[in-house]
Amino acid sequence: MSGADILFDFLLAALLVLLAWRALAAPQLYQAAIFFIAFGLAMALAWTRMNAPDVALAEAAIGAGLLGVLLIDSLAAFTRGRERGEAGSKHCADEGTRARPMPRVSQAVVAAAGVVFAAVWVTAILRMPEGGGLTAIAGAAMPESGVAHPVTAVLLNFRGYDTWLEVGVLLLAMLGIFCAVGKTGFEREQRPAHIDPLINWLVRFLVPLMVLVSGYILWLGKTAPGGAFQSGVILGAAGILLRIAGFRTFGRLPVWAWKTGLVFGFAVFLAVGAAALPAGRSFLEYPAETAGAWILIVETACALSIGFTLLAFFVCLNAAGGCDGPRQPNRTN
């Protein structure tokens, strides 16, 4: 390790802590969102510093990218009612966006707790035994995994159960958002009156390209960083772009079609995994010779569903509305 490397890591680590701090302490909500996205990008940089390109891709695409879009989209909902605040409900004011000033004593207690935690943490890190990890064991199992990229092998084969459940979490979060937003979430999608012709042209050009890239990244996952999640996020981003440009994305689809879109990846994964049981193999165990092909099928299905679900997150969150949204009559206090 050269000194310059260490210095860079030190600065990046300090920047991470600083950005985390600013994201929570910045006076305005939009600043918080911007700092949060910056934090996500700094994390992605840290992942590449630690030779984790798969994680960096996922963090940049989902952690900073998609969540960033959702946060920025939500900003309006939390701040829009400010002008109304004086006339209408007191809650609609910018109340709570700023942290309440703390008494001195509490500040001291919080600072002391932080110092104690940091001391305990550093001690724990210094005394952490070398676990050794599973690098060697995973390496030895690679020839039987059906793919050449170790991270894909862990995700789709060695620990496929986690990944299956994770796709389930996406579906479940969508159901949760559906409960939170109400059943009109999809129906309320409306085409804006005016679409900028330039944006329209740009989207027409970009979206097919994004679909291509997403397919390529999916294929790449077999041998190099990439795979279902990164590919799915690009698909989802293409959908979000279409929607921002004013194209209808869900409005046209019948109910069964979008349900299928949400469930598809999870169900295919389950079907492939459960088909192993009657054949005498373990749950989620692929046939030895054709593991690579099965993994590709599962990954493709998951990528489609992930893209679809992320787009649905955006559309539904959009429908959750804000202070001057269409739900006003229900206001209770």
Partner 1 sequence: MSVETHDIYMVAAGLVFAVGLGGVFLCRHFFRKIIATKMLGAAAFLLLVSVSRRDALDAPDPVPHAMVITGIVVAVSASAFALALARRIRAETGQSTFEEGDAP
Partner 2 sequence: MSGLLVTLPLILPIVGALVCLFLPARARPWFGLAASLAITLAVLALARATVLSGELTHSLGGWAPPLGIALRVDGLACVFLLLTAFVGLPVGVYAAKYFALPAEAKGEAFLFWPLWLFLWAAMNGIYLSVDLFNLYVVIEVLGISAVALAILSGRPAALLGGLRYLLAALVGSMAYLLGVALIYGSFGTLDLTLLGALADTGFTTRLALSLILTGLLVKTALFPLHFWLPSAHASADPPVSAILSSLVVKASFYLILRLWVDVFDATLTYAIGQAMGALGAVAVVWGSYQALRQKSLKLMVAHSTVGQVGYLFLLFPLITVAYEGLGDSPWLVHAWTGGIYQALAHGFAKAAMFLAVGIFVLATGTDDRESIVNMVGRLPMTTFAFALAGVSLIGLPPSGGFVAKWMLLKAAFSSGQWWWAPMVLWGSFLTAGYVFMILRVAFAPSRGSDRLRPVPRVLEAAALALGIGAILIGFRAEEILTLIDIESPFADLVDPNEGGISP
Burial class (CB in 10 A: 0-12, 13-18, 19+), 280: exposed
Among 157, 214, 231, 318, binds partner 2 (CB under 8 A): 157
Nearest distance, CB of residue 171 and partner 2, angstroms: 9
Question: Which residues inside 126-165 make contact with partner 1, applying CB under 8 A?
Answer: 130-136, 138-139, 150-151, 153-155, 158-159, 162-163
Question: What is the pattern of x (binds partner 2, CB under 8 A) and - over residues 286-325?
Answer: x---------------------------------------
- Residue 104 CA to chain centroid, in angstroms? 38
- In this chain, which stretch among 38-46, 191-199, 240-248, 260-268 interacts with partner 1, using CB under 8 A? 38-46
Question: What is the pattern of x (binds partner 1, CB under 8 A) and - over residues 184-223?
Answer: ----------------------------------------
Can residue 266 be called a binding residue for partner 2 (CB under 8 A)? yes
- Residue 117 CA to chain centroid, in angstroms? 29
- In this chain, which stretch among 21-29, 193-201, 244-252, 285-293 interacts with partner 1, using CB under 8 A? 21-29
CA distance 76 to 325: 11
- Of partner 1, partner 2, none, which one does residue 267 interact with (CB within 5 to 8 Å by kind)? partner 2
Among 34, 170, 301, 311, binds partner 1 (CB under 8 A): 170
Can residue 115 be called a binding residue for partner 2 (CB under 8 A)? no
Nearest distance, CB of residue 195 and partner 1, angstroms: 25
Nearest distance, CB of residue 201 and partner 1, angstroms: 31
Among 4, 41, 51, 237, binds partner 1 (CB under 8 A): 51
Nearest distance, CB of residue 287 and partner 2, angstroms: 10
Nearest distance, CB of residue 198 and partner 1, angstroms: 30
Question: Which residues inside 74-93 make contact with partner 1, applying CB under 8 A?
Answer: 74-75, 77-78, 81, 88-89, 91-92
Answer yes or no: are the C-beta atoms of 141 and 156 closer than 8 Å. no
Question: What is the pattern of x (binds partner 2, CB under 8 A) and - over residues 29-48?
Answer: --------------------
- Of partner 2, partner 1, none, which one does residue 129 interact with (CB within 5 to 8 Å by kind)? partner 2
